[in-house]
Amino acid sequence: MQSCRKISWLTRFVASRSLRNTPNRQMPVHKSEKRLDCVIIGSPNAGKSVLLNCLINNRVAATSHKKHTTREEILGVYNYRNVQLAFYDTPGFVSKNDTKKLDSKTLQSIVKSSTSKADVVLIVVDSAKSLTANFMHTFGEMVKIGLDCAKIEIILVLNKVDLVEPKTKLLEITRKLVSLINGIKLGPKGRNRAVLDTTTFMIDALNNDGVVDVKNYLLTLAKYKPWVIPKGGGVTNLSEDERIEQIILEALLEHTHEEIPYIAEISCVSIKPNPKYIEIKANIFVDSVNQRRIVIGQQARTLVKVRTAAVEVLEEILKRNVILYLDVKLRSEDGESGGGDGGGSDDVELEESGADRAQTR
């Protein structure tokens, strides 16, 4: 994850909430405001969310070494003088035929709906992975969507270049991918698609290497239109609850079994600021008793790890001490338990488990 600028979530919470319900067209148009809508697409695990966080110098999207971390569109903005770069992170793009783990149609429809608002589509590629026939097919599908939707251009972003040796390999990768893009431009729907430029960047998003060049280039493409998030309105359209949920999800991905994070649903129940700390309560909903056991772990060890990891990030971002209560619940108990009091007979609320009292500040 990237380092984070100090932000005041609490003061921006109300602004971001009301913003989510406000269609752009109702915002006053300031003639001096410029904006560029940039949609980030790419295969699962290509590093899209790391790139988003890096581009906006902040931490809004969960990232992990596991695939399908991002499940919904996430907006993050970077403001420079009168220009706002609006970046839309999307779920990993999976081919229509790929039905593993998650509903590929749902994921594709999220990607397509995000891409429809793009001035620029950034196609992120994990350059450390081999260009298999399967990948090239999926890449072709992404290029078609990009060329059909982007109003200005598509940008090829070769990410994870730090993992590629020798570096001359990158030229070969670029040649193959650009020739596929050019082939699509010259194809059946080529007339409309061919007018768009394609620029290639090679970056290491994890170490913020080369990302500033992407940003500087995008700044030159911005057009006169109102900002999607007004000045002082924060860096994302995610509510404070959703940002906290992203952080807990990231910790859950890090510390639990492969399938669990895909099943689990995190719901922030309350955020109570006190003079010395912020108290946050969140539920983790799962489908079965067995899944709950996995999330909690023996003597609540897994849940303690999840909580410790989440608290560390929350404290870094909020610059405050955080007390986090995690309650693992069955989805079927949701209604009965009244939304997070630990009403179900089998519930484990971490603060009461006695396993990590030392964390309490």
Ligand X SMILES: Nc1nc2c(ncn2[C@@H]2O[C@H](COP(=O)(O)OP(=O)(O)OP(=O)(O)O)[C@@H](O)[C@H]2O)c(=O)[nH]1
Q: Which chain residues interact with ligand X by CB under 6 A?
A: 42, 44-50, 63-65, 67-70, 91-92, 159-160, 162-163, 204-206
Would you call 6 exposed, middle or buried from its count of C-beta atoms within 10 A (0-12, 13-18, 19+)?
Answer: exposed
Q: Compute and round to an integer the Cα radius of gyration of the chain.
A: 21
In whole angstroms, give the CA distance from residue 154 to residue 140. 13
Residue 50 interaction partner, one of ligand X, Mg ion, none, beta carbon < 5-8 Å per kind? ligand X
- Token code pair at residue 135: 């990948």
In whole angstroms, give the CA distance from residue 156 to residue 176. 12
For 297, residues 6+ apart whose C-beta sits below 8 A from its C-beta are 303, 304, 305
In the bound state with ligand X, the residue whose beta carbon lies nearer, of 92 and 234, is 92
**Least distance (Å) from ligand X to the CB of residue 141?**
15
Residue 166: cis peptide before it, omega within 30 degrees of 0: yes
- Token code pair at residue 265: 């649903």
Question: DSSP letter at 280?
Answer: E
In the bound state with Mg ion, the residue whose beta carbon lies nearer, of 70 and 198, is 70
Of 41-49, 96-104, 128-136, 332-340: span binding Mg ion (CB under 5 A) = 41-49
In the bound state with Mg ion, the residue whose beta carbon lies nearer, of 69 and 267, is 69
Are the C-beta atoms of residues 210 and 204 closer than 8 Å to each other? yes
**Least distance (Å) from ligand X to the CB of residue 255?**
14
Q: Which of 69, 84, 115, 291 binds Mg ion (CB under 5 A)?
A: 69
**Least distance (Å) from Mg ion to the CB of residue 49?**
3
In whole angstroms, give the CA distance from residue 258 to residue 261. 7
In whole angstroms, give the CA distance from residue 159 to residue 340. 41
Encoded one letter per residue, x for contact with Mg ion by CB under 5 A and - for no contact, window 299-328 reads ------------------------------
In the bound state with ligand X, the residue whose beta carbon lies nearer, of 148 and 162, is 162
In the bound state with ligand X, the residue whose beta carbon lies nearer, of 258 and 341, is 258
C-beta neighbour count of 347 within 10 angstroms: 19
Residue 59 interaction partner, one of ligand X, Mg ion, none, beta carbon < 5-8 Å per kind? none
In the bound state with Mg ion, the residue whose beta carbon lies nearer, of 69 and 239, is 69
**Least distance (Å) from ligand X to the CB of residue 40?**
8
Binding site residues, Mg ion, CB under 5 A: 48-49, 69-70
